[in-house]
Structure 1
């Protein structure tokens, strides 16, 4: 793709109707230019005959006309409009679609239950590093659950209940948290989940998408004073979900409406959602519950782009793709980055062959490749304080495929300058790592820093590279394509970083090949 393009997605759900306008840049990174969500709650306009009433159709038309006007102010390459459970369950669905197209000119694609589950899972496997998991997408009128393995859906099912329907079935408008309602809802959910034989213990996580799971994860972040921003791939255990449920049920409706992290329009439906997630965790004995901030809309967007530009978004190498797009976005010198990474891998392999670090080497290998590619990325903002900027950028960016813990590891590597700054940056996250793990990360940072000194001119090529043991010290022999004047000066200043890794003095023997 040679220029930026704008694509609009309209998502008509049972609870909300949303317009998102995405802009894709040359590196296929998409950002939101516009995101408008209206809590229309179309589900409440279904009559006894299961038809959407005239009032409901009128509300939908008002929203669609508004979205049409907004979308026309952008140079759109494509508009994708979809509807899910509420229209799917309406007996007059075809009539609704025809009226909307006639009055607004917008063609709505009615997604089947399987298609709705498919697009959510499509986005999940392209933005996380999980190749096997359960997924749950809880909307207003339905709940889609899948089990996927090797990135492909094995089973999927759409339950005919969502947060709005559970509220209508079991909860009083003015008393959303009474004990009887909680017990009834929990009993109902257990029966529903137990009806599917493939919902069983596989020792895999549950990955959730949608507004309810986002709100619960956000509230839990605030409850625990989570030290970094970014909700993508936020992890919770069953106890954490029970803690948020305890909080929600302890508050009055007005208190829920003003709770930090909870959208006001979800105050009356957050408890049914929380109960659902706990019930599913108990059914499949999931070790953790993970929120993914990419769902149906992003799945539709990615598939549309992939049809025109095949394999743009792939479930394979999610981390590597995420790193490369980050490099492109912040205009890092790709040539310099590749040279540095090559040098790091050469030296790491030499250390491994000489068995200088034993088990530690495997820990280093997992970190250094990504870290060397993003080393001092913060120089894009300011060269003088690039370590600070590098750490902040990576610690507070949603990197697809990376957990929050992995993001901090990467931020510590990419910002590595010295032990003092390392200790400063890691201080808020020290409880996330063992002392041994922090040692590995720091050594990996030292290795990258030393190799950057061997990459000072970028054009000088290493012809031969070896480490030789001289009993009381090591000789690092480096043969270059031409006289390594700049590399010799810089590497000798930074060789203490290599000495820290192999626990012995190092003499660098520079030769022109």
Structure 2
């Protein structure tokens, strides 16, 4: 894919969205701009199945606006797609012809299966999950897919969504008890025609799209959740049911004021969550899991990496991308620190007997400990914590992200405790102890390359009594700076590990 910027335009049944992705000089990818316009195209289909002229005129104005944004960013390639509302409209070909002539955009009309496939690609590249069901509730269609071993197995596109069912069952945004029963019967009738849906019980139901993101934001607000990201957020079914019942009974003006819910979704969120609950029961799921990535992200991966669009290791891809976004960190030094950190961890395995997950946290923290220098070198640890917590670090739970940030920025137990205090309810006491130990281990690894010269090739590591002997084999330098640094942190390290690190200078080896 040539060009440093890609524009993805998604003409959905509820909204029209633009995302501009940029490839930086260091090979990282990030969103550099984006825009959203409410469209409600599914509501604006007349009795003959046509999208009315006023809706089409507004859509063309929006698309012109989006192409101007792309031109401003010198976007090398724009990929524009349309989903259910356009593909189901009886004047579909007229819509596409007018858009082409008045905006220059060639619109790809996605089938329901293609929509499900791109949504799956966006999700699977952002979550470390092997098996589950994926649901994408749009304005005019709902895609449900089964995936096993990170591979799409089955999918179906139902011809209803939150906007179309709101039009059918929820006049003025309110769904009565009787209307809810009718809606549930309508959706269940469609589900019955797909017997595979109920044949794989006990899996999570992963949701992408605006309906489930809205559910996640409302749930976090209701339960005062301290980590403000809905990506990789889990919700229990009974909590969803309670929230749904409370929200459905609220008049529309009061519902618009619900914390976490955007005003333009206040009416359609009820039928949207109604669909979600019905399909949750149909697949016999264990819990809801929200994914912040979806169709547009899948389109980006398919466009930017056409020969290898699916990532095998979500966390590794995310760590490499985040590191490349902050190139001020000296690459060779960071790699050296990471190597030494894992060597120390492995050599002390007999002593600490920590879980395999601890090694992943240490490795991740070692890759990111210097990214804060892109803001200010003198306070880089504090800024690294902030950047890690507020970046999209895919492949980790919220708890693991906080722990990684605390390990990467570790200076002392009291400082780490203070940094994590805001998120304390997500952490266990054993998590704090793990952060302290791995943070101290990372600090020792940084000290071993304090001169940033990668002077240590091989390192002999031996725990002997109360000492941790560190003997470099034929180092390329004096290591006097490293020895001084290690002496300064030895006391703190011993409190946590019960060992005093001692670095042997080259003269002492000979």
TM-score normalised by L of structure 1: 0.91
Q: Secondary structure at the match of 1:199?
A: helix
Structure 2 CA distance, aligned partners of 1:28 and 1:302? 14
Residues 361 and 103 of structure 1: is their aligned pair in 2 closer, same or farther, counting only changes over 3 Å?
Answer: closer
Q: Describe how 1:375-390 pairs up with structure 2 within 5 A.
A: 375-390=369-384
1:447 touches 1:497 (CA, 8 Å); kept in 2? no
Q: Secondary structure at the match of 1:23?
A: strand
Q: Secondary structure at the match of 2:439?
A: helix
Residues 24 and 376 of structure 1: is their aligned pair in 2 closer, same or farther, counting only changes over 3 Å?
Answer: closer
The alpha-carbon deviation at position 153 of structure 1 amounts to 1.0
The alpha-carbon deviation at position 232 of structure 1 amounts to 2.1
1:9 lines up with 2:3 in the alignment: no
Unaligned segments of structure 1, at least 5 residues: none
Structure 2 CA distance, aligned partners of 1:129 and 1:75? 34
Structure 2 CA distance, aligned partners of 1:443 and 1:468? 16
Residues 194 and 366 of structure 1: is their aligned pair in 2 closer, same or farther, counting only changes over 3 Å?
Answer: farther
Q: Secondary structure at the match of 2:77?
A: strand
Task: Please give the per-residue CA displacement for 1:102-155, whole angstroms capped at 9, x wherever unaligned.
Answer: 333221111111111111111111122123221111111100111122332100
CA RMSD of superposed structures (Å)? 2.4
1:13 touches 1:85 (CA, 8 Å); kept in 2? yes
Aligned residue number for residue 491 of structure 2:
496
Aligned residue number for residue 356 of structure 1:
351
Aligned residue number for residue 22 of structure 1:
21
Correspondence for 2:401 among 407, 412, 434: 407
Q: Secondary structure at the match of 1:290?
A: strand
Task: Please give the per-residue CA displacement for 1:187-240, whole angstroms capped at 9, x wherever unaligned.
Answer: 333443344222234433222111122222112222222223333222222133
Task: Please give the per-residue CA displacement for 1:52-78, whole angstroms capped at 9, x wherever unaligned.
Answer: 334443343333344344444342211
Structure 2 CA distance, aligned partners of 1:32 and 1:506? 44
2:403 touches 2:431 (CA, 8 Å); kept in 1? no
Structure 1 CA distance, aligned partners of 2:277 and 2:24? 39
Structure 2 CA distance, aligned partners of 1:193 and 1:347? 54
The alpha-carbon deviation at position 81 of structure 1 amounts to 1.5
Correspondence for 1:186 among 179, 184, 187: 184
Q: Secondary structure at the match of 1:384?
A: helix
Q: Describe how 1:322-341 pairs up with structure 2 within 5 A.
A: 322-331=318-327, 332-341=329-338
Q: Secondary structure at the match of 1:216?
A: helix
1:35 lines up with 2:34 in the alignment: yes
Structure 1 CA distance, aligned partners of 2:461 and 2:29? 44
Structure 2 CA distance, aligned partners of 1:356 and 1:377? 31
Q: Describe how 1:143-292 pairs up with structure 2 within 5 A.
A: 143-173=142-172, 176-200=174-198, 201-292=200-291
2:20 touches 2:31 (CA, 8 Å); kept in 1? yes
Unaligned segments of structure 2, at least 5 residues: none
1:443 touches 1:500 (CA, 8 Å); kept in 2? no
20-29 or 453-462, which deviates more: 20-29
2:165 touches 2:271 (CA, 8 Å); kept in 1? yes
Structure 1 CA distance, aligned partners of 2:384 and 2:73? 34
1:137 touches 1:209 (CA, 8 Å); kept in 2? yes
Aligned residue number for residue 304 of structure 2:
305
362-371 or 496-505, which deviates more: 496-505
Residues 477 and 458 of structure 1: is their aligned pair in 2 closer, same or farther, counting only changes over 3 Å?
Answer: same
1:95 lines up with 2:94 in the alignment: yes
2:436 touches 2:496 (CA, 8 Å); kept in 1? no
Structure 1 CA distance, aligned partners of 2:258 and 2:150? 37
429-438 or 106-115, which deviates more: 429-438
Aligned residue number for residue 396 of structure 1:
390
The alpha-carbon deviation at position 243 of structure 1 amounts to 3.5
1:15 touches 1:164 (CA, 8 Å); kept in 2? yes
Structure 2 CA distance, aligned partners of 1:250 and 1:86? 29
Structure 2 CA distance, aligned partners of 1:65 and 1:473? 69
The alpha-carbon deviation at position 84 of structure 1 amounts to 0.8
Q: Secondary structure at the match of 1:157?
A: strand
Aligned residue number for residue 441 of structure 1:
435
1:57 touches 1:96 (CA, 8 Å); kept in 2? yes
The alpha-carbon deviation at position 498 of structure 1 amounts to 4.0
1:345 lines up with 2:342 in the alignment: yes
The alpha-carbon deviation at position 169 of structure 1 amounts to 2.1
Aligned residue number for residue 75 of structure 1:
74
Structure 1 CA distance, aligned partners of 2:500 and 2:59? 73
Structure 2 CA distance, aligned partners of 1:257 and 1:433? 33
The alpha-carbon deviation at position 41 of structure 1 amounts to 1.6
Residues 274 and 252 of structure 1: is their aligned pair in 2 closer, same or farther, counting only changes over 3 Å?
Answer: same
Structure 2 CA distance, aligned partners of 1:337 and 1:125? 28
Structure 2 CA distance, aligned partners of 1:388 and 1:13? 41
Q: Secondary structure at the match of 2:195?
A: coil
The alpha-carbon deviation at position 443 of structure 1 amounts to 0.8
2:80 touches 2:106 (CA, 8 Å); kept in 1? yes
TM-score normalised by L of structure 2: 0.91
